[in-house]
Amino acid sequence: MANGHDNETQVAGQKWQQTVLAAATRKPLRKERFLRSTAETVEALYAPVGDVDAAKYLRDVGFPGQFPFTRGVQATMYRGRLWTMRQYAGFGTAKESNERYRYLLDRGQTGLSVAFDLPTQMGYDPDDPMAQGEVGRVGVSVASIEDMSTLMDGIPLDKVSVSMTINSTASTLLAFLVAVAKQNGVASQALRGTVQNDILKEYMARGTWIYPPRPSMRLITDMFAWCASNVPQWNTISVSGYHVREAGCDAAQEIAFTLGDGIAYVDAAVKAGLDVDSFAERISFFFNGHNNFLEEVAKFRAARRMWARIMRERFGAQKDESCKLRFHTQTGGSTLTAQQPDNNIVRVTVQALAAVLGGTQSLHTNSRDEALGLPTEAAAQIALRTQQILAAESGVADVVDALAGSYVVEAWTDELERKAQNYLTRIDELGGMVAAIEKGYPQREIQDSAYRTQVAIESAEQVIVGVNQYRNAVEPPVPVLQINPAVERDQVERIRALRLKRDQAATDAALRSLGDAAAGSDNLMPAIVHAVQNQATMGEIGHTLRRVFGRHEEVLVV
């Protein structure tokens, strides 16, 4: 550690080196040499030198891997292990998406991130009238255990972590994956990955809900409990600020509404009888990466510090692991432009750099053509190479929390924390996040922020290069990935063929058992897994639960 003088901070730093850092470095560091161009060694950590408010520094900033984790959740951060390069992908059929995953893994991607089509997200089979025209369009169609088997064909599930961006039907998709792993001889205990499983942000910002909030919360807490015993390495929720930011909120609101959702999930699990330290370390988060570089770095640091204090002070978590905010970042889709799409490569690089310097655990970099359609292979490779260049060539992965101590970054970290805390206080006054959503509070705040931003863009007060300034008279054509219309027909035929060859009596019995479990109070995950193993489809499981839970009706916010 780069030195300070003999004061309280230095003494605390020496203690950190002897305990937290010593424990972390029992694992090997990366093999690269950490050298500057002048051949000087890069220190792992730099701390204050000279006069500093030691009490404030140790309370609010501290050291990486140590409460309140402002400087990172691991002591060595990327010197020990680089972030996971997890490119979000999925389109068409399971076979087509499997080919894209293998393409990305062959080029150095280190984890999978699965995008599902709207029927899969909403719990419909490909031949349901509600699915018409949407099968395979914005993600891959997965309606059965057979589809999941094809999707993961040749993927070593005991070695590659799998993230699934899925919410209302998260329990069913996880059951599909667990069943396929078992077929392939991989125990559920060996599976690593994440389901997004964040239904509250769907009511706020995105809209792919099925059931009302309270039974949806039951599905989530049932998964917490079941995975703790059956899939212990699985992150059972990825609390998502990404989509509320895409809907138009600002950085402080992104922190507040994301942590507010996290509080609601922890509170629901505790009220369901779970010990907070039995599940909290499997909670992960998902943030957006936007263009204001310094604000984004401050946002990540503020969120990490706030969550640590929430878990310890509000929920009484005893384990440090329960207090660590681990997060995935995706660069901002709403910042991409259809005009001059090559500019998006620069935007994504800035956003990715902010995520890395903010301490992300995994990262998706958007492709340059995503304002026009799903990414082409060439665009997806550039997006992945962006991460690899940051990791291998920029030097930012060699130092832990390189921007700590910056006057701007520290001031903005404190400011964002204050603003976000004001929102959380208001949410508590309204009765918690579920009640706040039912009353339309976060929805109104997001709408107001989005409106302010749009006015600023239209007036050119906020410059968007290539859109409201520095425009081209003519835009050259850009290749766009096209989804073959035959995809929907093929998926309809597959699901109908499955129904014809399965043991229908066994499927019906499994679905009846699921309905009975939903009407009672038993944990639903065993019944969902049983239904999947008996070849029940996504739509059949969804309709069974709809009959018991009902459907959510949106409350319009005015």
Please indicate, yes or no, if residue 425 is contained in any of the structural domains: yes
Tell whether 273 and 333 lie within a shared domain. yes
Please indicate, yes or no, if residue 553 is contained in any of the structural domains: no
Domain boundary among 434, 453, 472: 453
Tell whether 269 and 311 lie within a shared domain. yes
What CATH number is given to the structural domain containing 257? 3.20.20.240
Tell whether 57 and 81 lie within a shared domain. no
Q: How far apart are CA 510 and CA 429, in angstroms?
A: 43
Backbone angles phi, psi at 184, to 5 degrees: -95, 10
Please indicate, yes or no, if residue 145 is contained in any of the structural domains: yes
pLDDT in tens, 382-424: 999 999 999 999 999 999 999 999 999 999 999 999 999 999 9
Lowest mean pLDDT among 24-33, 239-248, 536-545: 24-33
Tell whether 196 and 237 lie within a shared domain. yes
pLDDT in tens, 75-117: 999 999 999 998 877 788 999 999 989 988 998 888 888 999 9
| Beta strand pairing call for 162-165 and 111-115 | parallel
* Token pair of 64 as six digits: 């990486």
Tell whether 138 and 284 lie within a shared domain. yes
Q: What share of the chain is helix, strand, coil (3-state, %, to 5)?
A: 55, 10, 40
What pTM was estimated for this model as a whole?
A: 0.89
Tell whether 36 and 85 lie within a shared domain. no
DSSP helix/strand/coil, 441: helix
* C-beta neighbour count of 32 within 10 angstroms: 12
Please indicate, yes or no, if residue 513 is contained in any of the structural domains: no
DSSP helix/strand/coil, 113: strand
Tell whether 37 and 137 lie within a shared domain. no
The helix or strand, by DSSP H or E, that contains position 348, with its residue range, turns out to be helix 343-357
* Confidence (pLDDT) at 87: 81
| Beta strand pairing call for 193-195 and 234-235 | parallel
Beta-carbon contacts of residue 56 (< 8 Å; ≥ 6 apart): none
pLDDT in tens, 316-348: 999 999 999 999 999 999 999 999 999 999 999
Position 512 pLDDT exceeds 90: yes
Tell whether 41 and 88 lie within a shared domain. no
* Confidence (pLDDT) at 24: 85
Tell whether 40 and 146 lie within a shared domain. no
* Confidence (pLDDT) at 237: 93
Position 201 pLDDT exceeds 90: yes
Please indicate, yes or no, if residue 505 is contained in any of the structural domains: no
* Confidence (pLDDT) at 553: 83
DSSP helix/strand/coil, 59: helix
Counted domains in the chain: 2
Q: With bands split at pLDDT 50, 70 and 90, how would you rate the model's confidence at 40?
A: confident
Please indicate, yes or no, if residue 535 is contained in any of the structural domains: no
Position 515 pLDDT exceeds 70: yes
Q: How far apart are CA 390 and CA 35, in angstroms?
A: 16
Please indicate, yes or no, if residue 500 is contained in any of the structural domains: no
Q: With bands split at pLDDT 50, 70 and 90, how would you rate the model's confidence at 1?
A: low
Q: How far apart are CA 77 and CA 79, in angstroms?
A: 6
pLDDT in tens, 209-228: 999 998 999 999 999 999 99
Q: With bands split at pLDDT 50, 70 and 90, how would you rate the model's confidence at 279?
A: very high
The residue written with tokens 């600023």 in the block is 456
Tell whether 382 and 250 lie within a shared domain. yes
Tell whether 47 and 81 lie within a shared domain. no
Bridge partners, residue 112, by sequence: 87, 162
pLDDT in tens, 450-460: 999 999 999 99
The residue written with tokens 């490119």 in the block is 87
* Token pair of 154 as six digits: 């040749």
Domain boundary among 425, 453, 481: 453
Whether 350 and 293 have beta carbons less than 8 Å apart is answered as yes
Say what percent of the chain tops pLDDT 70.
98
What's the domain range around 39? Answer: 8-61
Q: In angstroms, what CA-CA distances link 179 with 64, 150, 186?
A: 38, 13, 10
Tell whether 277 and 149 lie within a shared domain. yes
